[in-house]
Amino acid sequence: MPVVSQPPLAPAFLATLLPELSAIRRDIHAHPELAFNETRTADLVAAELARCGVEVHRGLAKTGVVGVIRAGTSSRMIGLRADMDALPLQEMNAFPHRSKREGCMHACGHDGHTTMLLGAARYLAAHRNFDGTVVFIFQPAEESEGGAAVMIEDGLFEQFPVDAVYGLHNWPGLPVGEMAVMPGPVMAGTCAFEISVRGHGCHAAMPHQGIDTIVAASQLVQALQTVVARNLHPCDAAVVSVTQFHSGSAWNIIPEEALLRGTIRTFKPEVQETVERAVERLCSGVAAAYGAQIGVVFDHRYPPTVNSAAETEICRRVAAATLGADKVRSDELPSMGAEDFAYMLREKPGCYVWLGNGPGTGGCTLHNPHYDFNDDILALGVGYWVRLVEHTLGN
Ligand code: NI
């Protein structure tokens, strides 16, 4: 079903709504909360939903909030998701709505995601120009604790059996007024690894009496850089980064042990598998070459975020109707960052899009201590959500 250019959302309603949303967004920004502790934010979300007559459910994943709006008689049901959590980071902005909490800030724009979804709920509750059920999912703990997975374990999709689920992230570097909507993998899967290297400690002046852990571990760090380059098809993407190297306690001792840690990013299970086997082979090989003992442990975290084809095409058309066809990019490269919306997309078809936040001026990108969500895009996010509902649950 084509989406043709649509009139702007009720201008008079938006004129009142947008200043209120900006105030809510700044209030959330000033009061950031970390994973599963989003109690103030969840209270605010629940109160706002209730205030506009939306049915509210609480308790999934501890601080999760779900709002439900029904209209008409159709059994169709879609889910819209926003994340509510902040980051353990000291804000370095000086504007009035800067974080009031030491060492905690909204540096990923989740304050904006929460606010835009509240705005859409307010609009849809007032207009109900659709036929079906909309489930508004406000999830905790996106940043590292996988709040989306916990909501699913707690019965999110049993209680609210949506046909499809949709997510959105603000995207610095993408101009205001533009969106990126891509089919297939859009964010990478992430896996942490830990490698323990055990040599034989000795006096640094008598290296022949030991097995040099530092030399073996250093060789391994270099060798790991061949995993992607020499094992994968050149058109497959992956990252293997060593981010920690811990060893030694004195300048005259060759240490007994070294500990390496790092991250692997991939988009496909078969690529992940190839990378892990290659890492294991290199660990065994370097161990044999140096006479050391080397063990590796993989810790699988977020899976890749993969958009389904049909729902992505719906989102592309809705984005085009909202912003103009020339403002929707479908050929952006996926991000090697990870996103726990991936868990929802493993359960349900759906699509995760990027909404331009404007230039990342001065390196001000996601997770930067100077980051701030751009209130100028609130209306675009609300407009996108509303049109997505009115299109997928069209009368
Ligand atoms: Ni984020």
Residues 111-121: tens digit of each pLDDT: 999 999 999 99
**CA 108–ligand 1 middle distance (angstroms):** 5
Torsion region of 184: left, alpha or beta (phi above 0 gives left; psi -120 to 50 gives alpha): left
Q: How far apart are CA 283 and CA 286, in angstroms?
A: 5
What is the per-residue pLDDT for 6?
Answer: 62
pLDDT at 362 over 60: no
Between 47 and 364, the higher pLDDT residue: 47
**CA 203–ligand 1 middle distance (angstroms):** 48
pLDDT level of residue 79 (50, 70, 90 thresholds): very high
Structure tokens at 330: 């479908």
Q: How far apart are CA 115 and CA 29, in angstroms?
A: 10
Q: How far apart are CA 395 and CA 389, in angstroms?
A: 11
**CA 349–ligand 1 middle distance (angstroms):** 21
**CA 131–ligand 1 middle distance (angstroms):** 31
**CA 334–ligand 1 middle distance (angstroms):** 15
pLDDT level of residue 361 (50, 70, 90 thresholds): low
Pairing of the two strands 253-254 and 77-83: unpaired
Residue 26 and residue 95 in contact, taking contact as beta carbons nearer than 8 Å: no
H-helix or E-strand containing 153? helix 147-153
What is the per-residue pLDDT for 9?
Answer: 82
What is the per-residue pLDDT for 395?
Answer: 77
pLDDT level of residue 7 (50, 70, 90 thresholds): low
| Section 75-100 average pLDDT | 97
**CA 235–ligand 1 middle distance (angstroms):** 27
pLDDT level of residue 206 (50, 70, 90 thresholds): very high
**CA 224–ligand 1 middle distance (angstroms):** 29
Domains for the chain: give ranges and CATH numbers.
11-186+305-392 (3.40.630.10), 189-300 (3.30.70.360)
What is the per-residue pLDDT for 3?
Answer: 53
Structure tokens at 157: 């999709």
| Section 183-207 average pLDDT | 97
Residue 252 and residue 276 in contact, taking contact as beta carbons nearer than 8 Å: no
- pLDDT tens per residue across span 319-333: 999 999 999 999 999
Q: How far apart are CA 263 and CA 190, in angstroms?
A: 7
What are the respective helix, strand and coil percentages of the chain, to the nearest 5? Answer: 40, 25, 35
Pairing of the two strands 328-329 and 179-180: parallel
Mean pLDDT of the chain: 95
pLDDT at 277 over 90: yes
What is the per-residue pLDDT for 363?
Answer: 55
Q: How far apart are CA 70 and CA 77, in angstroms?
A: 9
| Section 129-157 average pLDDT | 97
Give the predicted TM-score (pTM) of the model. Answer: 0.92
